[in-house]
A and B are shown apart, each in its own frame.
Chain A
Amino acid sequence: MSAITEETMDYRKRFKAYYYDKIANELASFEAYRTPQMVIYYFYIFMIILTIAIAIGWVLSIGKTMPPGFWDRSGDGNFIIYGVFGICSGFWFLANKVKKNFEIKVKKGVIESFLAFFGDFKWMPRESLPREEIEQSKLIGLITDLKADDYFQGTHKGLKFVISEFKTWRGRGKQRHQTFGGIFVKIDMNKKIQGHTIVTEELSVAKQLTTFNKFPLCGVDSSGLEKVELEDIEFNKMFKVYSTDQVESRYILTTTFMERLKNLKEIYKVCQIKASFFDDSILIAMGCQRDMFLLGDLNIPVTDTGEVQELFDEFISVLSLVDLLHLDSKTGL
């Protein structure tokens, strides 16, 4: 996803110079560490394949001679299956741990230099916005489980900025389903907000049923909020608005701001977008179907600029929300 503006292009040129000056050497120091980690990772993958191959080989050669009922649901053959599954899961867990540890090590080593380019941003792994705040936003309703990934905090163009990447689930056992996967962006508003207004995408039935959007049941929590019908017909087709205050919702959602939200959706097509305005800040939820801010892929040399380029593009796209929505200007909204 990207929002290309002249400013972004300028940023890119400056970042390229900055990368070779400050980041490239730091990254290169991890290359020597990457190879043995990659060997360990593929060793575990090999063990998974080997385990499955041995199991299949055993079943094909000796498995047929087992007594009747061996392969039944309550038969002893189940232990073989569970055993194979358990061993493969164990190796899979170890492989992923190696991958994740490498990613965290590279990120820890390089992210400070990366973020220094953008100002005073800090990175906190495995942190997220407080669960209460996420629930208070009413964008994804109640949360049973939350798995935090990346968390960035800083200021951009004079505004306090938080980017929190996480996944949430609701329910237990068979009722458990994922309700969100993506990023929440919290930015200080340039207007005072006393009430609570939420803007959510209007999903067509077709979109809800396709795999493109995995969270058809994850609507906003509109309890205690009134539906707001605005004048822009196109906007009303794309978004639904709920608010505690009909006047304040129109104060926030001026005709200009509605245009900007429509443009935002055009740019971030692949993400489901929702926004919540409360406590003098705006919380934008972007439900994207992929892990963001990745750095340190075991399979790619760390000196390859592609990964850092993608990280830069993702970060700058999120920061450009301030420009897209004119949140830095007093009369912006």
Chain B
Amino acid sequence: MFGMNMICILLVLLGVGAFLLYMVYVQLIQKKNKVQEALASIDVQLKKRHDLIPNILAIAVKFMEHERSLIEDVTKLRTEALNMKSDFSNMEDKIKLENELQSKMGQLIVSAENYPTLKSNETMVQAMETFAEVEAEIAAARRFYNAAVLDLNNAVEIYPSSDFAKTMNITALPFFNDIVESEKAPIDAAAYFAK
């Protein structure tokens, strides 16, 4: 009788243990899928950005003769971004490329301030407003992605889900930061006032 009870208790404990492990596995898959969903959301917003850039450049190139190299940089980066596949394996490169593109577009918009005719062009104003909206949406998608990645990274690095992650080949992913290396450099105010 005592033996039967012990066996029953052991079986229940094993069952509970197996169930808990299964829940860990399920949560890990859910977190991975969440990151996939977030990545897809970012791609939707990035596509809007990529589609908008040619419209802005088409107007800018008529007025900003002295910014040819900047316009060419933006065009080149956009083409690279369009050709880059979106999956976990090249996240770091993708993030770096999109950040560079965002930085160059930022420089272009700032440079547009030096061209009053361009600044007052109605189409350009509309395009800039739309671009600002798109950037806000990208920022929101990025925050969602970072939240999902944080969850996943925690699961990948903390035991016992870390063991499951190793078995299933799920690794920690990089965050989508919005600061590029060049922007980290300290700003020389004197240089600005000297212009």
Task: Say yes or no for B136: interface residue by CB 8 A criterion.
Answer: yes
Binds A, one of B24-32, B63-71, B141-149: B141-149
Q: Are B140 and A331 in contact (CB under 8 A)?
A: no
Give Cα A251 to B144, complex, Å.
10
User: CB-CB contacts of A214-250 with B at 8 A, as 1s and 0s?
Assistant: 0000000000000001110000000000000011111
Task: Say yes or no for A330: interface residue by CB 8 A criterion.
Answer: yes
Give Cα A269 to B160, complex, Å.
44
A330: chain B residues within 8 A (beta carbon)? 129
User: CB-CB contacts of B90-115 with A at 8 A, as 1s and 0s?
Assistant: 00000000000000000000000000
Task: Say yes or no for B36: interface residue by CB 8 A criterion.
Answer: no
Q: Are A250 and B129 in contact (CB under 8 A)?
A: no
B136: chain A residues within 8 A (beta carbon)? 251, 254
Give Cα A249 to B143, complex, Å.
10
Give Cα A130 to B52, complex, Å.
40
Give Cα A229 to B147, complex, Å.
8
A230: chain B residues within 8 A (beta carbon)? 147
Q: Are A247 and B141 in contact (CB under 8 A)?
A: yes
Which residue of chain A has its CB nearest to the CB of B37?
A246
Q: Number of contacting residues on B, CB 8 A? A: 14
Give Cα A231 to B142, complex, Å.
12
Task: Say yes or no for B171: interface residue by CB 8 A criterion.
Answer: no
Number of A-B contacts defined by CB within 8 Å: 30
A231: chain B residues within 8 A (beta carbon)? 143, 147
Given contacts A229-B147, A247-B144, A250-B143, contact A331 B132 (CB under 8 A): yes
Give Cα A183 to B110, complex, Å.
44
SS class, residues of chain B in contact with chain A? helix
Task: Say yes or no for B137: interface residue by CB 8 A criterion.
Answer: yes
Give Cα A315 to B137, complex, Å.
34
Give Cα A251 to B141, complex, Å.
8
Q: Number of contacting residues on A, CB 8 A? A: 12
Give Cα A249 to B139, complex, Å.
12
Task: Say yes or no for B75: interface residue by CB 8 A criterion.
Answer: no
Interface residues of B in 44-94 (CB under 8 A from A): 45
B141: chain A residues within 8 A (beta carbon)? 247, 250
A246: chain B residues within 8 A (beta carbon)? 37-38, 41, 144
Which residue of chain A has its CB nearest to the CB of B141?
A247
Give Cα A330 to B45, complex, Å.
19
Which residue of chain A has its CB nearest to the CB of B38?
A246
Which residue of chain B has its CB nearest to the CB of A192?
B133
Give Cα A4 to B144, complex, Å.
35
Given contacts A229-B147, A231-B147, contact A250 B140 (CB under 8 A): yes
Q: Are B140 and A251 in contact (CB under 8 A)?
A: yes
Q: Are A247 and B41 in contact (CB under 8 A)?
A: yes
Q: Are A251 and B137 in contact (CB under 8 A)?
A: yes
B183 to chain A, nearest CB (A): 18
A198 to chain B, nearest CB (A): 17
Q: Are B147 and A248 in contact (CB under 8 A)?
A: no
Give Cα A247 to B138, complex, Å.
9
Give Cα A249 to B147, complex, Å.
13
Give Cα A159 to B186, complex, Å.
41
A249 to chain B, nearest CB (A): 8
B45: chain A residues within 8 A (beta carbon)? 247
B166 to chain A, nearest CB (A): 26
Give Cα A176 to B41, complex, Å.
44
A246 to chain B, nearest CB (A): 5
Q: Are A248 and B140 in contact (CB under 8 A)?
A: yes
Give Cα A246 to B41, complex, Å.
9
Give Cα A331 to B129, complex, Å.
10
A248: chain B residues within 8 A (beta carbon)? 140
Give Cα A246 to B141, complex, Å.
8
Interface residues of B in 141-170 (CB under 8 A from A): 141, 143-144, 147
Give Cα A229 to B154, complex, Å.
15
Q: Are B132 and A250 in contact (CB under 8 A)?
A: no
Give Cα A230 to B146, complex, Å.
10
Which residue of chain B has its CB nearest to the CB of A330?
B129
Give Cα A229 to B45, complex, Å.
21
B104 to chain A, nearest CB (A): 21
B144: chain A residues within 8 A (beta carbon)? 246-247, 250
B109 to chain A, nearest CB (A): 14
A229: chain B residues within 8 A (beta carbon)? 147
13 A-B pairs within 8 Å (CB atoms) are namely A230-B147, A246-B37, A246-B38, A247-B41, A247-B140, A247-B144, A248-B140, A249-B140, A250-B141, A250-B143, A250-B144, A251-B140, A330-B129
Known: A250-B139, A251-B137. 4 other contacts (CB 8 A): A247-B137, A247-B140, A248-B140, A330-B129
Q: Which A positions have Cβ atoms within 8 angstroms of B?
A: 229-231, 246-251, 254, 330-331
Ranked 4 nearest A-B pairs via Cβ: A251-B140, A250-B140, A250-B143, A247-B41
